[in-house]
Amino acid sequence: MTLRYFKRLLVLLLLACSSQLYAQKAIPVIDALKMITKEYKADFVYDPQVMKKKTTTYNMSRLAGKSLEDVLKGVLYPNELVFLYVKPNYYTIVEKDRVGEYQLPSKKLTDDTEQAATPQAAKIKVSGQVKDNNNQLIPNVMIMEKGTSNGTMSKEDGTFSITVAGPSSVLSFSSIGYTAVEELVGDRTAMHVLLQESTKQLGEVVVTALGVKRDEKALGYAVQAVKGSNLQTVKGVDLGTSLTGQVSGLVVKNSTEFNGTPTLEMRGETPLLVIDGVPYGNMTLRDIPTDDIESINMLKGSTAAALYGARGSAGAVMISTKRGKDDRLSVDVNSNTMFTLGYLAIPETQTSYGHGLNGKIATDYVWGPKLDIGNTAVQWNPETKKNEEMPLVSSGKNNLRNFLETGLITNNSISVTKGGKNGFFRAGLNHIYNKGQFPNQKLNVLNYTMSGELKAGDKFSLESHMGYTRTSAPQLWGSGYGTQGYIYQIMMWTGPDYDIRKYKDYWVTPNEKQNWLYNAWYDNPYLIAYEKLRSTEQNKLNASLTMNYSFTKDLKLMFRNGYDYYKNEDGIRNPAGIYSTNGGKLGQSFDFSFSGKGLYGLNQSWSNSINSDLILTYNKQVKKWNIDALGGGSIFYYSNREMGARTRNGLAVPGWYSLANAVPSTTAGVDALVNNYGTWSKQMNSAYGKVSLSWNSAVFLDVTGRNDWSSTQPADARSYFYPSVATSVLLSEFIKMPEWVDMWKVRGSWTITKTPLDVYANNLSYTINNSWGSIGASTPDNLAGTNLLATTTRTWEVGTAGYLFKKRLHVDVAYFTKLYYNTQLKQTIAPSSGYASTLINTGETYARRGVEITLDGTVLRRKNFEWQSMLNFSTQHRYYVDIDPVYSAKNLWTKTGGRMDVFAQTEHALRDPQGNVIHQNGLPMLSKYTEPFGYTDPKFTFGFINNFAFHNFNIGISIDGRIGGVMYDYIYNKMFDTGSAPETDNEHRYDEVVNGLKNYVGKGVKVVSGEVAYDNFGRITKDTRQYAPNDVPVSYQSYTRLWGNSYEHGVMNKGFVKLREVSIGYRIPARYFGTSGIRSASVSLTGQNLLLITKFKYADPDIDTENMNAPAQRMVGVNVRVGF
Average the pLDDT over 181-210 and give the result.
76
Q: State the pLDDT confidence band at 942, using cuts at 50, 70 and 90.
A: very high
Q: State the pLDDT confidence band at 64, using cuts at 50, 70 and 90.
A: low
- 628 three-class SS: strand
Q: State the pLDDT confidence band at 513, using cuts at 50, 70 and 90.
A: very high
Q: Which backbone phi and psi does 19 adopt, to 5 degrees? A: -65, -40
More confident residue, 1022 or 100: 1022
pLDDT, position 521 = 82
More confident residue, 131 or 507: 507
More confident residue, 1055 or 186: 1055
pLDDT, position 535 = 94
Tell me: the pLDDT tens digits for 400-451?
999 999 999 999 999 999 988 888 999 999 999 999 999 999 999 999 999 9
For β-strands 1112-1123 and 931-935, DSSP reports them as unpaired
Instruction: Select from 964, 951, 933 the least CA-distant residue to 865.
Output: 951
Question: Cα separation of 248 and 252, whole Å?
Answer: 11
Q: Give residue 269's Cα distance to chain centre.
A: 12
pLDDT at 844 exceeding the cut of 70: yes
So where are the chain's domains?
Answer: 25-100, 124-194, 231-323, 971-1042
CA angle 290, 296, 302 (to 5 degrees): 135
pLDDT at 65 exceeding the cut of 60: yes
pLDDT, position 863 = 82
Determine if residue 951 is left, alpha or beta; phi over 0 gives left, psi from -120 to 50 gives alpha, anything else beta.
Answer: left
Asked if 1055 and 961 touch (Cβ cutoff 8 Å), the reply is: yes
**What whole-number percentage of the chain has pLDDT above 90?**
63
Question: Cα separation of 460 and 456, whole Å?
Answer: 5
Question: Cα separation of 296 and 111, whole Å?
Answer: 40
pLDDT at 30 exceeding the cut of 50: yes
pLDDT at 339 exceeding the cut of 60: yes
Question: Cα separation of 40 and 12, whole Å?
Answer: 30
Asked if 479 and 1110 touch (Cβ cutoff 8 Å), the reply is: yes
Tell me: the pLDDT tens digits for 868-899?
999 999 999 999 999 999 999 999 999 999 99
Asked if 1066 and 949 touch (Cβ cutoff 8 Å), the reply is: no
Long-range contacts at 166-169 (CB < 8 A, ≥ 24 apart): 166/123, 166/124, 167/124, 169/124, 169/145
Q: What pTM did the predictor assign?
A: 0.81
Asked if 72 and 36 touch (Cβ cutoff 8 Å), the reply is: yes
pLDDT, position 19 = 38
Instruction: Select from 822, 860, 853 the least CA-distant residue to 840.
Output: 822
CA angle 1010, 1015, 1020 (to 5 degrees): 45
Q: Which backbone phi and psi does 635 adopt, to 5 degrees? A: -130, 125
Tell me: the pLDDT tens digits for 988-1023?
999 999 999 999 999 999 999 999 999 999 999 999
Question: Cα separation of 780 and 717, whole Å?
Answer: 23
Question: Cα separation of 414 and 448, whole Å?
Answer: 10
DSSP letter for each residue of 803-820: EETTTTEEEEEEEEEEEE
Alpha helix locations (H) across 25-67?
29-40, 48-51
Q: Determine whether 702 is exposed, middle or buried from the number of CB atoms within 10 Å of its CB (0-12, 13-18, 19+).
A: buried
Tell me: the pLDDT tens digits for 608-637?
999 999 999 999 988 889 999 999 999 999
pLDDT, position 622 = 87
Lowest mean pLDDT among 182-186, 923-927, 1079-1083: 182-186
Q: Which backbone phi and psi does 955 adopt, to 5 degrees? A: -120, 125
Instruction: Select from 251, 281, 244 the least CA-distant residue to 266.
Output: 251
Give Cβ neighbours of residue 292 (< 8 Å, ≥ 6 apart). Answer: 228, 321, 322, 413, 415, 428, 430, 447, 449
Asked if 241 and 254 touch (Cβ cutoff 8 Å), the reply is: yes
Burial 398-420 (b: 16+ CB within 10 A, else e): ebbeebbeebbbbbbbbbbbbbb
Lowest mean pLDDT among 264-273, 299-308, 581-590, 1032-1041: 581-590
Lowest mean pLDDT among 302-316, 583-597, 1052-1066: 583-597
Q: Determine whether 843 is exposed, middle or buried from the number of CB atoms within 10 Å of its CB (0-12, 13-18, 19+).
A: middle
Instruction: Select from 976, 977, 979, 947 the least CA-distant residue to 1061.
Output: 947
Residue 1037 amino acid letter: Q
Tell me: the pLDDT tens digits for 104-120?
333 333 333 333 333 44
Instruction: Select from 344, 61, 185, 368 the least CA-distant residue to 1097.
Output: 344
Average the pLDDT over 497-512 and give the result.
95
- For the chain, what is the mean pLDDT? 87
pLDDT at 399 exceeding the cut of 80: yes
Say if domain 231-323 classifies as CATH 2.60.40.10. Answer: no
Asked if 783 and 838 touch (Cβ cutoff 8 Å), the reply is: yes
Question: Cα separation of 680 and 757, whole Å?
Answer: 14
Q: State the pLDDT confidence band at 122, using cuts at 50, 70 and 90.
A: low
DSSP letter for each residue of 676-738: EEEEEEEEEEEEEEEEEEEETTTEEEEEEEEEEEETTS-GGG-EEEEEEEEEEEEGGGTS---
pLDDT, position 104 = 39
Give the domain 124-194 fold. Answer: Immunoglobulin-like (2.60.40)
Question: Cα separation of 878 and 840, whole Å?
Answer: 22
How many Cβ atoms from other residues are within 10 Å of residue 374's Cβ?
9
pLDDT at 7 exceeding the cut of 70: no
Q: Determine whether 24 is exposed, middle or buried from the number of CB atoms within 10 Å of its CB (0-12, 13-18, 19+).
A: exposed
Burial 563-585 (b: 16+ CB within 10 A, else e): bbbbebbbbbbbbbbbbbbebbb
Domain 25-100 shares a fold with domain 231-323: no
Architecture of the domain whose range is 25-100: 3-Layer(bab) Sandwich (3.55)
Question: Cα separation of 276 and 451, whole Å?
Answer: 11
Burial 637-671 (b: 16+ CB within 10 A, else e): bbbbebbbbbbbbbbbebeebeeebbbeeeeeeeb
548 beta partners:
461, 558
Tell me: the pLDDT tens digits for 729-756?
999 888 888 989 989 999 999 999 998 8
- 324 three-class SS: coil
Q: Where are the beta strands (DSSP E) in 348-440?
A: 376-381, 386-391, 408-420, 423-435
pLDDT, position 18 = 38
More confident residue, 148 or 462: 462
Give Cβ neighbours of residue 31 (< 8 Å, ≥ 6 apart). Answer: none
| Range among 171-175, 212-216, 479-483, 571-575 rated most confident | 571-575
Instruction: Select from 742, 863, 878, 764 the least CA-distant residue to 818.
Output: 878
Asked if 256 and 1109 touch (Cβ cutoff 8 Å), the reply is: yes
Lowest mean pLDDT among 815-824, 949-958, 1043-1052: 1043-1052
pLDDT, position 88 = 66
Q: Where are the beta strands (DSSP E) in 301-356?
A: 315-321, 329-345
pLDDT, position 239 = 92
Alpha helix locations (H) across 114-256?
239-243
Evaluated on CA atoms 767, 772, 774, 778, the torsion sign reads: negative
